[in-house]
Structure 1
Amino acid sequence: MKTIKRSFSVAGYNFRQWHKNPRIFITFALAFILCFLLSDKAVKFAEEYGTTMQLVEAFVWTFGDSNSILLSSLLLVLLFADMPFLSSGTPFYLVRIDRKTWLLGQAVYIAAATAIYLVFILVSTALVCMSNSFIGNLWSETAAILGYSGAGQQVALPALVKTLEMSTPYACMGTIFLLMLLYALLLVFIMLVFNLYKGQAAGVISVFVFSVYGFILNPQTIKAVFQLSDELMYKANVAVGWLSPLNHATYHMHNFGYDLLPRLWQTYALFGGLILLCYFLALHAIRRYNFNFTGTEG
C-alpha cells in the first residue's frame, strides 16, 4: 500500500511540471488542430447532404482509420520528450524510495497522461461537429449514407457496414478509444525502454521505427505496391492484421464472426502482454540506469 501511495506521489509530481510548460501546451494545441483537420471531412459531408451526426461519430469515423491513429500517436513523442522525467525533484524521491517504486510512478504517470491526451482528442472531435449533432445512442442518417452507399470510401472515411450493424455509437467509441489507448501505451513504453537502455535519441528513433513498421504493414499499401489479386489480398489482409500493432489498433481490422482477423479480446491480450513485457524490461534497465541531473535545476 505504501509503495502504491509513493508511486502516485511520483506521478503527481510529474503532472505538476505541466504548469506553464510550453511543450505541453503545444502538444495539445497540435492535437486539436489535427482533430479539426481529420474530422473536417465528416462534418463537410454532413453539411453537403443536409444531415446531422451523432456526437461521437466524428471520432468513430476519424479514428477508425489506421493513418489517423498513427498521426495522433506520434504527438506523444512531444508529450513525453523528457522521458524518463528527470527534474530537480527526482533526487529527493530517489533518496526516499527505491528505483522500482520510482519507475512504477513513471508508469502510472504515462498511463494517466496518455489517457488524458486521448480524452482531449475525443472531446476535440466532438466539439468540431457539436453544432450539427445529437447525443442519442443511435447512428445518424449521415452514418447510414456513408456506410451503405459506399460514399465513405469516396471521401476516405472508414464507415463500414459491420460497424453500423454490430454496435452502437457509444459502444463503438469506447472500443476505438481502448484500442488507441493500448496502442499509444505500447508505443510510449517502447520509447521508455529504449530511453533507459540507450538514451533519449534511441527512444525517439524506436518510436519512428515502430510507426513506420505499422505504416508499411497496411493492406492498402501492400495492395498498391504488389497489385495483388483479391484472393491474395485477403490472405495479406489477414497476415498484416495479426502482424501489425497499428492494424490491431484499427477497429475494422478485427474478426466480428466471419473472417480470420484477430478478435478484440485477442488484441487486448496481445497489447496487454507487450506492455507488461516492456515494463519488466524497463525494470531491468532501471537497475543500472545512470541518473544524470545536469540541467534539471528549476
Structure 2
Amino acid sequence: MRKVGSVAAYNFRGWHKNPRIIVTFALAFILCFLLSDKTVRFAHEYNTTMQLVEAFVWTFGDSNSILLSSLLLLLLFADIPFLGPGVPFYLMRIDRKIWLIGQSLYVVLATGVYLIFILFSTVLLCMSNSFINNMWSDTAAILSYSDSGKTIALPSLVKTLEMSTPYETMLTIFLLMLLYTLLMAFMMLMLNIIKGQSLSVVGVFIFSLYGFILNPQLIRAVFNLPDELMYKANVAIGWISPLNHATYNMHNFGYDLLPTLWQSCLIFILLILVCFGITLRCIRNYNFNFTGTEV
C-alpha cells in the first residue's frame, strides 16, 4: 500500500502550478456558475430562499449538466497514463501492476477532488440566499408543485421532495456522478493502455455522445412517440444508457420499471471493475515510451 500511495502522491505533486489543472478547475467553476444561475435567479425573482445544497440537486439532477461536467475530465486526465519524469525510476523498484494500481488510486482521488470542488462551487454561488437546515425550501416547493420547473428546464420532481431530504438527495447525486465519471476515467485509462491516447479520447467522446443521444426528450422530439411508447422508451433508455443511470430522476422510486439507485450503483461498479481488470491484464504488454526524462 505504501508503494501504491507513493505513485498516487507523485501524480498529485504534478498539480503544483500546472496550467492544465488550474484551467480545468477554473472552467469547472465557470460551468457551475452558468448551470446554477437559473436556479439562483429563480429564487431571487420569487423572493424565496434555498436550502444550501438545492442548487446542486436541481443543477446536477439533469443529465446534460452531468455530461458537461464529466467532459472536463478529458482535460484533467489529458496526460493519462501519467508518464512523468519519475515513472522510469518507479518501474525499476515496483512492478507494472503496482504502478497501475497507484495510477488507479490517483484517478479515484482526483475525480473525487474534482467533484467535491464542483459541489462546493455550487454551494458557494448560492450561499448568500440559503439556509442549512435539512428541509426543502419554498423555492423547491414552487419548482416541484407548479410548471415553473419545466418552464426553466430544472429537473425538480414531487417525488424528490416527498421521498428524501436535501442532504440525502445531494449525497445520492454526488455518488451517481462519481461512479459515472470514474467509469469514464477508467475507460479512458483502459483505451490508452490498449490503443494509445488518441483512441482513448475518441472513445470517451463516443461514450459521451452515446449518452447524449439516448436522452428521453431527444427521442421524443425526433420520433414523436405517443405516451405509451414513450414510457417503454424511457424504461429501455434508463437501463441501457450509463448517463441515465447517473441521473437521479431516471430511477425507480417504487412505482415503475426503471433501475433502482442501488442497481445503478452496482452496474457502475461492475463496469469500472471490468475496465480495471482489462487494463491490469493489458499492462503486461504495454510499451512504455518516455521522452525527455529528467533526473
TM class by shorter-chain length? Answer: over 0.9
Q: Please name the residue that 2:166 is paired with.
A: 169
How many residue pairs match? The answer is 295
Task: Tell me, yes or no, if the aligned pair for 1:100 and 1:283 is still in contact at 8 Å.
Answer: yes
Which of 72, 79, 83 is the aligned partner of 1:82? Answer: 79
Q: Please name the residue that 1:94 is paired with.
A: 91
Matched, 1:33 2:26: no
Q: Please name the residue that 1:8 is paired with.
A: 5
Q: Provide the C-alpha distance between the structure 2 equivalents of 1:20 and 1:212, rounded to a whole number of angstroms.
A: 32
Matched, 1:263 2:260: yes
Q: Please name the residue that 2:284 is paired with.
A: 287
Deviations 1:14-50 (A, max 9, x none): 0000001000000000000000000000000000000
CA RMSD of aligned residues (A): 0.7
Q: Provide the C-alpha distance between the structure 1 equivalents of 2:141 and 2:13, rounded to a whole number of angstroms.
A: 45
* TM-score for the superposition, normalised by structure 1: 0.98
Q: Percent identity of the aligned residues?
A: 72
Matched, 1:152 2:149: yes
Deviations 1:92-124 (A, max 9, x none): 110100000000000000000000000000000
Q: Please name the residue that 2:244 is paired with.
A: 247
Q: Please name the residue that 1:22 is paired with.
A: 19
Q: Please name the residue that 2:130 is paired with.
A: 133
Q: Please name the residue that 2:195 is paired with.
A: 198
Q: Please name the residue that 2:54 is paired with.
A: 57
Aligned pairs for 1:268-279 (under 5 A) are 268-279=265-276
Per-residue deviation at 1:297? 3.6
Q: Please name the residue that 2:177 is paired with.
A: 180
Per-residue deviation at 1:150? 2.1
Q: For structure 2, list consecutive stretches of 5 or more residues without a partner in the other structure.
A: none
Q: Provide the C-alpha distance between the structure 2 equivalents of 1:280 and 1:111, rounded to a whole number of angstroms.
A: 15
Matched, 1:47 2:44: yes
* TM-score for the superposition, normalised by structure 2: 0.99
Task: Tell me, yes or no, if the aligned pair for 1:115 and 1:181 is still in contact at 8 Å.
Answer: yes
Q: Residues 102 and 49 of structure 1: is their aligned pair in 2 closer, same or farther, counting only changes over 3 Å?
A: same
Report the AA paired with residue 79 of structure 1: L
Which of 225, 230, 237 is the aligned partner of 2:227? Answer: 230
Per-residue deviation at 1:296? 4.5
Task: Tell me, yes or no, if the aligned pair for 1:86 and 1:296 is still in contact at 8 Å.
Answer: no
Deviations 1:244-285 (A, max 9, x none): 000000000000000000001100110000000000110111
Q: For structure 1, list consecutive stretches of 5 or more residues without a partner in the other structure.
A: none
Task: Tell me, yes or no, if the aligned pair for 1:255 and 1:261 is still in contact at 8 Å.
Answer: yes
SS at match of 1:95: helix
Report the AA paired with residue 18 of structure 1: W
Q: Which runs of 4+ in 1 moved over 3 A?
A: 295-298
Report the AA paired with residue 68 of structure 2: L
SS at match of 1:242: helix
Deviations 1:44-94 (A, max 9, x none): 000000000001000000000000000000000000000000011001110
Q: Provide the C-alpha distance between the structure 2 equivalents of 1:54 and 1:116, rounded to a whole number of angstroms.
A: 23
Which shifted more, 145-154 or 42-51? 145-154
Report the AA paired with residue 153 of structure 2: A
